[in-house]
Amino acid sequence: MKTRLLLTVGIFFLLISCRGSVPSDILTRNEIALIRRVGSLEDIYVQKEIILLQKVPDKGYFSDFKINENLILGLRYYRGEHQVIAWDREGSYLGQAGQAGKAPGEYISVGGFDFTGPDSFIIYDRVRDFINSYRVEKGGVVFVDQAAPGLAEQTYMDTLFRVDSALYLLSCSGPEGMHTLFRLDEKMQIAYRFHKRRHSSLIANPTYAVSKNEIYVLGAFDDRLKMLEPFIYVYSLQGKLLRKIRTKYRDIFDVNFDRSGKFMLLTSMKNIFDLSKSDEYRILDRDGHEIHTFTSLPPLDPVTILGISRTCLDYENVMYLTRPDEAGRAKLYIYDIDAGLEPEGGDDGE
């Protein structure tokens, strides 16, 4: 009887310890083995392209890049000022989109930017609740128009992003109980709001990720950089809550996907602000089952890095910008996240 009891308890704890393992219907044994061989970012970062950018400022820091078939946009912070700088796809400098100020086409604090066409883009000014539209013509950036989306609630930080033909605003902080995600219509007005928060974030970290048909968003954070709710919320593009992924990790800085579409790469906040120290990374399947963890330095020498961008879009890229030389030329390294599971897109993309 005692032996049977001990055996039952042992099996129970074995099952509990395996709850985070990968279900066989998501990843094969060979795929799990490939993932568990990952020891650094260099094992899963596949270099896709290097673009030599011209006239890159040597001061400040770039925190985001967006690339389409014609343009490269970079967000630069320097002495409290935000700048969105544009290059063509070959790296030739096109100019700065607007500048700090309150005149049409200017902005105070950039709350996200994205393309509206091959040669056009928008910038959201989170302070004044304006969306400025720009286009590139005759080798320069031209201001086009300005719209106010109607975000009446005061928010601490917002992020604008595009999925297919729709634009979204993700609010990080604000009055308790306010909605976090807003879907905009073609006139840049709020058409729908969803993901009503239980808590108001005390820090500004609007973490999100986008797959082909889903939006992944984290809940609120406290002042210790911890998530107040242990979930990654998954919504349809129309705002329907599809599922909640429970996670034991409450220090998530970024969520990215690999080229196969089969796993998520989570970045920890532990050392994210010090590139000279190894960061902690976790690989989970799309249902949140833990597969592997590892620590790693960036793929480039941390001293040479002037900016890092994780686009958070499924099947897209991670980018590192090097510091410019005396002529203002800097290299933009573009990587795919790929553990070698299968060709780009997997079951969820192309």
Compute the average pLDDT of residues 257-265: 89
Predicted confidence at residue 176, as pLDDT, reads 54
Predicted confidence at residue 196, as pLDDT, reads 81
Question: Residue 325, by phi and psi: left (phi above 0), alpha (psi -120 to 50) or beta?
Answer: beta
Query: Encoding tokens for residue 92?
Result: 């030739």
For the chain, give every domain's residue range: 23-53+251-350
Percent of all residues in the chain with a pLDDT value above 70, rounded to a whole number: 84
Percent of all residues in the chain with a pLDDT value above 90, rounded to a whole number: 50
Question: How much is the CA Rg of the chain, to the nearest whole Å?
Answer: 21
pLDDT digits (tens, 9 = 90+) for 176-191: 567 788 899 988 988 9
Considering the entire predicted model, what is its pTM?
A: 0.87
Q: Give the ranges where the chain is alpha helix by DSSP (H).
A: 2-17, 29-36
Predicted confidence at residue 261, as pLDDT, reads 86
Cα angle at 265 between 226 and 77, to 5 degrees? 65
Compute the average pLDDT of residues 325-337: 96
Strand partners, 46: 336
pLDDT digits (tens, 9 = 90+) for 43-59: 999 999 999 999 999 99
Which of residues 282 and 254 earns the better pLDDT score? 282
Helix, strand, coil shares of the chain as percentages rounded to 5?
10, 45, 45
pLDDT digits (tens, 9 = 90+) for 4-24: 444 343 433 333 333 444 454
